[in-house]
Amino acid sequence: MRILVIGGVAAGTKAAAKLKREDRSAQVKVLNKGEDISYAGCGLPYYVGGAIGTREELIVNTPQKYAGLTGAEVVTGCEVTHVDPAAKTVSGLLHGESFTESYDELIIATGAAPFVPDMPGKALPGVFPMRAPDDAVGLRDYVSANGCRRAVVAGAGFIGLEISENLLSQGLDVTVVDFADQIMPNAFDPEMADFARRKLKEAGVRVLTGQRIQSVTGTDKATGIVTDGGPIAADVVVLAIGVRPATDFLADTGIELFKGTVVVDELMRTNLPHIYAAGDCAMVRSAITGKGQWSAMGSTANLTARALANTLTGSPTPYGGCLGTGVAKLLPMLNVGRTGLTEAQARAEGFDPITVVCVSDDKAHYYPGASVFLTKLVADRNSRKLLGLQVIGAGAVDKMVDVAAVGLYAGLTIDAYDTMDLAYAPPFSTAIHPFVQACHVLENKLSGKLETFTPAQYAAGEAKDYQVIDAQPAPAIPGAKWVNLAQVNGPLEGIDKDAKLLLVCARGKRGYFLQNRLKFYGYTNTRVLEGGVTFNQVKVPLPAGATLPPEEVKRLKGLGCLWDKRTPDRFNVRVITRNGKLTSAEHAAVAEAAQKFGSGEVTMTTRLTMEIQGVPYQNVDALIEFLAEAGLEVGGTGSKVRPVVSCKGTTCQYGLIDTFALSEKLHELFYKGYHDVSLPHKFKLAVGGCPNNCVKPDLNDLGIIGQRVPEPDLNKCKGCKVCQIEKACPIHAVSLKDGKAVIDPTLCNHCGRCLEKCPFGAFTESTYGYKVYIGGRWGKKVASGKPLSKIFTSEQEVLDLVEKAILFFRDEGQTGERFSDTIQRLGFDYVEDKLLHGTVDKQAVMNKTVIGGASC
């Protein structure tokens, strides 16, 4: 039997290997277009992020190794362009030469190709699809070689979000754009996707939905993209919009296709005899609905290929259908998983879906590293059969997905899990498995014991007429009435039994306990908010004259929202401007935000942030969301590195260094890079382009000043009666001594204005550098910083010193003291020696617990 396999990677190589194991006499030949026949396509994002170190680690098998292991013949560089079912031949190009091969059985495993819209700029350097190892290698190399700091990823599916996480881990600013109105479209319901989106934004990823990419900008290389919403600047662009079946060469063969996929039956047979298909190019079926479903997953490719090989070698093996099962890592502590139907899909398929969103421990709560699962179950209301699951968590979401997938294949009801003996030990799970807990909650909801609003209903405003009851252990929802669950032994004082009450706690459990108790005491109209404040953004309008609790004021201050104490509930919100620099579009966004959400007024702070004035409490979240859509962030308070201040630098006539370039690096590395690092107090950085000190670097915790150190050649000095160098020096540090122009080093501030002024070339040579001051501050207790004795001659030296100073302050500073206090307590000489000559164990310092003492 002569079997041809068109395509390698997952399905092709799996089918060929299994065929040879089952029938050693079979002649199996793999025809592969590329040179890599078997690689880890799902591992590409992790190569970009550096978790996978080399290209070789992505290659599962080389053609030579694979042929030796399996006995299948492998031909690379072979593009099949035509299939003739009647003649049972395939033809195409082998390294540019025509060829024809005959077959007894044919397997089509050509997979899928990345979809790249036909748009201007798509071929520019710096634009990368993400499908093959060379794409990942090219992207990582390009980011490194070009010092990329901003990335745009088009596509918010699993691959796009995994690429985003790995670019973020490399220190890039990442913007994700998708035409759909949510991330992970068709995989997650909107409320689950919105929760994941909020977490991505909290981590610094800018997420824009409902925007189609129109073009890539740039001439010699990519400089950004243009979307329906306007331009977005970027140094590198990744196109992860999706894939399309690689089946164009089958158009005139008579093989049945549906939207480019090869239609197959449960034995992976096409409509033509002796022709089969598997992998991303094939249309399989849903295990739940029985309808055709495209499952472009490596797992589906391997499973269908193995089943196909069994069938061809005499053991017919039907493929049981797919569930759309998938998991992904979106952030270091944010994993997502799903299987089965979403609520929307279930309704579209004619089911009557009932759902629940619940929050449960992912392992014993007392075990180190314990976190939570946020789980959405979808079931059919009438049959109680499980239809789908979506889960988000910091830990092993795959275990939740796999438990659900087994139930879906078996057609189990949610009740079938009630007493199922699943694994338990504190490091791994809870005594009642978290999936079973979710089933129990949904059973209570089906029975009417638990009456709820889902997160989707709450977001849609269905609870707007309900009074919010805070059921948490301590009051935590501003404007809500707090009820101490432990003391509810009768009707609630001042609340009618027919009042509409929304019971809100951290997760939903205490809300259920309170509802159960209130029902006993005659309350008839209570609802529990599923997922509580862990999942939902709960806002309660403040009653007239009410003030916010101190805890909420403190929380908002940490976000850069400072309470205007003349009012009960208005805030001035600080917008970070990257050293005072904004684009015109960003300026327009700030102005629009001030008009829409605040008083219409914008002020500047001494840290060159813009402060939107008079924002009512209920508008704060909407304002922050609006600014994030424009690529802007709020912040700049707390015991941490503060926004960086910079002068104009080389755009000023006296500028000696590019202060914008340096301060932007400081912004990325330390304001953003150390954003979650607590320090003993605030730590302010400033960069001045010359000794004029316009932004007062020496009054900051660490100040950097551009220098141009003269290196005179006094052999060329003629001792002129009117010395042009003496005349040019603005601080009179130059004088004639013994017929030579001499610089007093105690007076010279290295401004460089003397250079090029001598007609005989005595003052032409110099060294550009940086003077660094430490321990300055202004405010209640002004202190001038003192310069380190070294003039730094490279930008990298300065960046390294800044990081060492921050780590030193975190390690040896005391809560509540500024860096100047630390220096005074330890002695300048000690600190200077540590910064210039000492070493810092960064990991040890970062592992310390530090309590900040900043009050603003």
In contact, 133 and 139? CB cutoff 8 Å? no
Q: How many whole angstroms separate alpha carbon 253 and alpha carbon 13? A: 24
User: pLDDT tens digit string along 796-841?
Assistant: 999 999 999 999 999 999 999 999 999 999 999 999 999 999 999 9
DSSP bridge pairs for 375: 358, 391
Tally of CB atoms within 10 A around 550: 8
What is the pTM (predicted TM-score) of this model?
A: 0.83
Q: What is the pLDDT of residue 854?
A: 85
Note the pLDDT of residue 209: 94
**Which residues of the chain form CATH 3.50.50.60?**
2-113+245-312, 116-241
CATH 2.30.40.10 fits 2-113+245-312, yes or no: no
User: Pick from 771, 620, 627, 614: which is nearest to 691 by CA?
Assistant: 771
* Tokens of residue 451, six digits: 């009456």
Name the one residue in this structure whose structure tokens are 């550098």. Answer: 769
Cβ atoms of residues 360 and 438 within 8 Å: yes
**What is d(CA 414, CA 436) in angstroms, rounded to the nearest whole number?**
8
How far is Cα 33 from Cα 76, in angstroms, rounded to an integer? 6
Residues of the chain with CATH 3.30.70.3340: 550-629
pLDDT in tens, 603-645: 998 888 999 999 999 899 999 989 988 889 998 888 999 999 9
Start-end ranges of CATH 3.30.390.30 in the chain?
333-449
Burial degree of 127 (CB within 10 A; 0-12, 13-18, 19+): buried
Write down the pLDDT at residue 811. Answer: 97
SS3 706: strand
* Run of H or E residues at 347: helix 343-348
- Superfamily (CATH H level) for 453-535: Rhodanese-like domain (3.40.250.10)
Q: Does domain 333-449 have CATH number 3.40.50.620?
A: no
Burial class, 844, CB count within 10 angstroms (exposed 0-12 / middle 13-18 / buried 19+):
exposed
Q: Is 837 helix (H, G, I), strand (E, B) or coil?
A: helix
Domain 116-241 of CATH type 3.50.50.60: yes
- Is 140 within 8 Å of 51 (Cβ atoms)? no
Q: Name the one residue in this structure whose structure tokens are 């829409």.
A: 596
CA distance 349 to 468: 36
Pairing mode, strands 481-482 and 257-258:
unpaired
Distances (CA, A) of 533 to 539, 695, 819: 10, 43, 38
**Phi/psi at 415 (nearest 5 deg)?**
-70, -25
CA triple 492-465-472, angle to 5 deg = 45
CATH domain 550-629 topology:
Alpha-Beta Plaits (3.30.70)
Helix (H, G, I), strand (E, B) or coil at 161: helix
What does the alpha-carbon distance between residue 569 and residue 346 come to, in Å, rounded to a whole number?
Answer: 44
Cα gap 384→401, rounded to integer Å: 18
Distance CA 30, CA 747 (A): 79
pLDDT for position 581: 85
| All residues at 6 or more sequence positions from 759 whose CB lies less than 8 Å from its CB, including other chains | 724
Q: Residue 160 to residues 163, 182, 205, 216, 240: CA-CA distances in angstroms? A: 5, 13, 12, 17, 5
Q: Which amino acid is at 727?
A: K
Residues of the chain with pLDDT under 50: none
End-to-end CA gap in the chain = 79
Find out whether 313 and 24 touch, Cβ atoms under 8 Å.
no
Of 42, 652, 694, 748, catalytic: 42
Residue 578: both structure tokens together: 């990257």
Decide the pairing of beta strands 334-340 and 386-393: antiparallel
- Distances in Å between the Cα of 818 and the Cα atoms of 727, 778, 856 are 42, 11, 13
Q: Are 291 and 279 in contact (CB under 8 A)?
A: no
Contact 633, 625 (CB under 8 A): no
Phi-psi map region of 449: left, alpha, beta (phi>0 left; psi -120 to 50 alpha) = alpha
CA count, 13 A, side-chain hemisphere, 190: 12
60-69 contact pairs (CB < 8 A, 24+): 60/13, 61/13, 61/37, 62/37, 63/32, 63/35, 63/37, 66/13, 66/17, 66/37, 66/38, 69/17
Active site residue 758: no
14: its two tokens:
């799996």
